[in-house]
C-alpha cells in the first residue's frame, strides 16, 4: 500500500499552503435581519452562519439563574454540509461542540449584568471541511458583539496540529482525517487567556508548545479580521439599515 503524503518535498501542503499558513478567511457581521446579532464566516471550504438572540427570557424556565445570564449554544451541521448526507438532529458530536463553544463565550460575556436571562446562540454549518468548531466559535463571537451584548473581548479560535511529522496550522480535511494530531484552541489575544483547548492525537511537549504558539499567532490575525467585519458593519449601518449581503443582492 502506498502511504498518502500530506506534505510534499517542497514543504508545501496538499492545498499549496505553507505549514504555518491559514486557509483564506472571510468574515461578515450583521448578515441576518431577524436575529439580534449575526455573522457569516467562510474559512477555506467551511461556510458557517451564527445567529444570536438575547439577552431574553430563559426557556426552559428551570434553567434560569438568578445571578447571571446563561449562554445556550446550538451547533448544527446542515444535512447537506458534507458529501454524505448527515442525519438531521442533535448527536453526541454536536452536543459536545455546543457545550465547549458555550463555555468559551460565557467567559467573555458579562453574564452577571443580565440575571434570569439567556443568550441564545445558533451556529449553522452550511458546508463543512474540517475546523468547523473554530469557524463556529469565531463567527459566534462576532455575532454576540453584533448583538450589542457586553463582552470583555472577542474570542478567536483556530487549530494547529501535526501531519507527516510536521507541526501545521489550521488543518484541512485530509490533514484532519489522516494527520497525527489536531489541537483546536479558543483564545483571547489581548489578555492571552485560553478559553478552549482540545486535543485529538498525540504530540510531544515541544510539539504541543509549537502548535499552541502557531495557533495563538494565527488567532491574532483572525482577531483583526473579526474587528474589521464589525467596523464594516457599522460603516454600512451608519447610512441605512442594510446588511452587506443585501447590498450584493441589490
Can you tell me the distance from the alpha carbon of 179 to that of 6, in angstroms, rounded to the nearest whole number? 8
Among 131, 161, 179, 189, binds ligand ADP (CB under 6 A): 131
Residues 148-177: x where in contact with ligand ADP by CB under 6 A, - otherwise, as a string: -------------------------x--x-
Can you tell me the distance from the alpha carbon of 213 to that of 231, in angstroms, rounded to the nearest whole number? 28
For residue 126, state whether it binds ligand ADP (rule: CB under 6 A). Answer: no
Among 3, 9, 10, 84, binds ligand ADP (CB under 6 A): 84
For residue 230, state whether it binds ligand ADP (rule: CB under 6 A). Answer: no
Q: Which is nearer to ligand ADP, 58 or 215 (CB)?
A: 215
Q: Which is nearer to ligand ADP, 36 or 42 (CB)?
A: 42
Query: What cell was used for 118?
Result: 439567556
DSSP symbol at 56: E
Radius of gyration of the chain (CA): 18
Among 111, 117, 118, 129, binds ligand ADP (CB under 6 A): 129
The helix/strand/coil state of 168 is strand
Residues in binding contact with ligand ADP, number by CB under 6 A: 12
- Residue 227's H or E segment, with its range, is helix 205-239
Q: Which is nearer to ligand ADP, 173 or 210 (CB)?
A: 173
Can you tell me the distance from the alpha carbon of 3 to that of 187, in angstroms, rounded to the nearest whole number? 35
Please state the closest distance from residue 132 (CB atom) to ligand ADP, in A: 3
Please state the closest distance from residue 217 (CB atom) to ligand ADP, in A: 20
Query: What is the chain's length?
Result: 250
Which residue, chain included where needed, has cell 452577571?
Answer: 112
- Contact (CB, 8 A) for 7 and 166: yes
Sites of contact with ligand ADP (CB under 6 A): 82, 84, 86, 93, 128-133, 173, 176
Amino acid at each position: 500500500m502506498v502511504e498518502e503524503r500530506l506534505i510534499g518535498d517542497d514543504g508545501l501542503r496538499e492545498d499549496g499552503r505553507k505549514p504555518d499558513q491559514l486557509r483564506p478567511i472571510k468574515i461578515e457581521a450583521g448578515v441576518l435581519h431577524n436575529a439580534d446579532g449575526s455573522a457569516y464566516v467562510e474559512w477555506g471550504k467551511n461556510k458557517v452562519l451564527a445567529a444570536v438572540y438575547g439577552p431574553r427570557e430563559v426557556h426552559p424556565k428551570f434553567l434560569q439563574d438568578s445571578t447571571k445570564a446563561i449562554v445556550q449554544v446550538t451547533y448544527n451541521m446542515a444535512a447537506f454540509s458534507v458529501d454524505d448526507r448527515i442525519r438531521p438532529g442533535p448527536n453526541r458530536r454536536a452536543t459536545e461542540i455546543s457545550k465547549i463553544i458555550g463555555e468559551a463565550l460565557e467567559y467573555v460575556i458579562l453574564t452577571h449584568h443580565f440575571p434570569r436571562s439567556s443568550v441564545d446562540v445558533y451556529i449553522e454549518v452550511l458546508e463543512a471541511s474540517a475546523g468547523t468548531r473554530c469557524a463556529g466559535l469565531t463567527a459566534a463571537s462576532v455575532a454576540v458583539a453584533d448583538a450589542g451584548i457586553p463582552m470583555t473581548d472577542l474570542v478567536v479560535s483556530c487549530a494547529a496540529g501535526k501531519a507527516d511529522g510536521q507541526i501545521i496550522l489550521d488543518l484541512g480535511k485530509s490533514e484532519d482525517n489522516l494527520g497525527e494530531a489536531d489541537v483546536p484552541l479558543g483564545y483571547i489575544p489581548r489578555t492571552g487567556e485560553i478559553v478552549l483547548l482540545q486535543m485529538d492525537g498525540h504530540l510531544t511537549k515541544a510539539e504541543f508548545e509549537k502548535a499552541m504558539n502557531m495557533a495563538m499567532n494565527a488567532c491574532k490575525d483572525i482577531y483583526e479580521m473579526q474587528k474589521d467585519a464589525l467596523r464594516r458593519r457599522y460603516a454600512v449601518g451608519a447610512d441605512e439599515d442594510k446588511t452587506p449581503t443585501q447590498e450584493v443582492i441589490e
